[in-house]
Amino acid sequence: MQTPVAITCGEPAGIGPEVAAKAWAALRDSVPMVWIGDPRHLPTGTPFAEVASAQEACTVCTSALPVLAHPFARPATPGAPDLTNAQGVVDVIARGVDLVQSGAASALCTAPLHKKVLKDGAAFAYPGHTEYLEALTGAPRAVMMLASDTLRVVPTTIHIALQDVPQALTPDLLRETIAITAQGLRTQFQIAEPRLVVAGLNPHAGEGGAMGLQEVDWIAAVVADMAAGGLDVTGPWPADTLFHAAARTRYDAAVCMYHDQALIPIKTLDFDRGVNVTLGLPIVRTSPDHGTAFDIAGRDIANPTSMIEAIRLAARMAAS
């Protein structure tokens, strides 16, 4: 029997339940899956079947969305998050991780959450999914990759203010990010000899120290040391020349210095098909590359493409 991809409900007042239902409709004949959440939060008219286990999901997946029911405090109002439901969102993520770690599910695909709602309603102490998954799985450090058929990017620092980036960036952090990225490309993307490029922090990669010193002080040395150790990695390169069509043919992933340096290119080039992949975990985890979209929740107009691609990629990565 096949093992399903576990899909967490995410913030129930957002578009997570809608895009999950639409993704099931698109993939039900090709990818077994099971949704974890409160069935009351699914769009009206969604054909679903409550199942007692993840394994049972594969017997009903083609005819109905399999649901591992997880009761929440209240029904959801689209676009209006309820703080009393926040703890349910957190608990569903933990339940999904447990399913994958036990082997009952092959991979985890997480729908978007709203960090402030979780902080205010459940005293959520993590900046986001990535850091919470580190804690749940005991991973020393996880790395966030945004991936599509067009581009793969990894931000070395993630959810921090731009003014804090220079202090947060360290040689050890960059070295670790590069190493985890390379290993993830080998094991989860089946790229035997991954090619990596590293972006500079400053404009023009510092231009020899004229526009910043991090590149000459230590970034170039980290890259050179890892290349000497046998990794195909080059840099630091000016970020403004890394993402045009010709440049993208020369690498398998770009390691960037901060969140927007990595995410703006992929969201510009392939917004609908970008997938968030967490590398460095002992499980496969993906998520769509968008947020809760409260402004369109409940209107049946959310585009499910990123969720579809996230589930597909999770299944492929688990199989490899």
Read off the pLDDT of each residue in 109-124 and give the average, rounded to a whole number: 95
Both 115 and 146 in one domain: the answer is no
Number of domains in the chain: 2
Phi, psi of 227 (to 5 degrees): -65, -40
Please list, in sequence order, all residues whose beta carbon lies within 8 angstroms of the beta carbon of residue 32, skipping any fewer than 6 positions away.
Answer: 2, 3, 4, 5, 57, 58, 61
Both 104 and 174 in one domain: the answer is no
Read off the pLDDT of each residue in 171-192 and give the average, rounded to a whole number: 96
pLDDT of residue 99: 97
Is residue 6 a part of any domain in this protein? Answer: yes
Is residue 104 a part of any domain in this protein? Answer: yes
Both 70 and 107 in one domain: the answer is yes
pLDDT for residue 169 is more than 60:
yes
Is residue 84 a part of any domain in this protein? Answer: yes
| Confidence band of 236 (pLDDT split at 50, 70, 90) | very high
pTM here is 0.91
pLDDT for residue 90 is more than 70:
yes
pLDDT for residue 173 is more than 90:
yes
Read off the pLDDT of each residue in 67-72 and give the average, rounded to a whole number: 97
Is residue 303 a part of any domain in this protein? Answer: yes
Both 72 and 195 in one domain: the answer is no
β-bridge partners, 50: 67
pLDDT tens digits, one per residue of 268-291: 999 889 999 999 999 999 999 899
CATH code at position 310: 3.40.718.10
pLDDT for residue 39 is more than 70:
yes
Angle, to 10 degrees, between the axis of helix 86-102 and the axis of helix 115-122?
100
Is residue 287 a part of any domain in this protein? Answer: no
Phi, psi of 155 (to 5 degrees): -85, 130
Can you tell me whether residue 4 is helix, strand or coil?
coil
Is residue 231 a part of any domain in this protein? Answer: yes
pLDDT of residue 120: 95
pLDDT for residue 179 is more than 70:
yes
pLDDT for residue 46 is more than 70:
yes
Letter for the amino acid at 122? A
Read off the DSSP letter of residue 240.
Answer: G
| Confidence band of 55 (pLDDT split at 50, 70, 90) | confident
Read off the pLDDT of each residue in 135-156 and give the average, rounded to a whole number: 95
Q: CB-side exposure of 50: number of CA atoms within 13 Å?
A: 8
Can you tell me whether residue 98 is helix, strand or coil?
helix
| Closest to 130 in 3D by CA, of 285, 298, 304 | 285
Is residue 290 a part of any domain in this protein? Answer: no
Both 210 and 267 in one domain: the answer is yes
Alpha-carbon distance 220 to 308, whole Å?
38
Pairing of strands 253-256, 195-199: parallel
Both 116 and 164 in one domain: the answer is no
Read off the pLDDT of each residue in 57-72 and give the average, rounded to a whole number: 94
| Confidence band of 1 (pLDDT split at 50, 70, 90) | low
Both 53 and 164 in one domain: the answer is no
Q: Name the average pLDDT for the chain.
A: 95
Both 131 and 45 in one domain: the answer is yes
Both 77 and 24 in one domain: the answer is yes
Both 305 and 249 in one domain: the answer is no
pLDDT of residue 2: 80
Give me the domain span that covers residue 145. Answer: 140-280
Both 2 and 87 in one domain: the answer is yes
| Closest to 271 in 3D by CA, of 150, 159, 189 | 150
CB 145 within 8 A of CB 152: yes
Is residue 294 a part of any domain in this protein? Answer: no
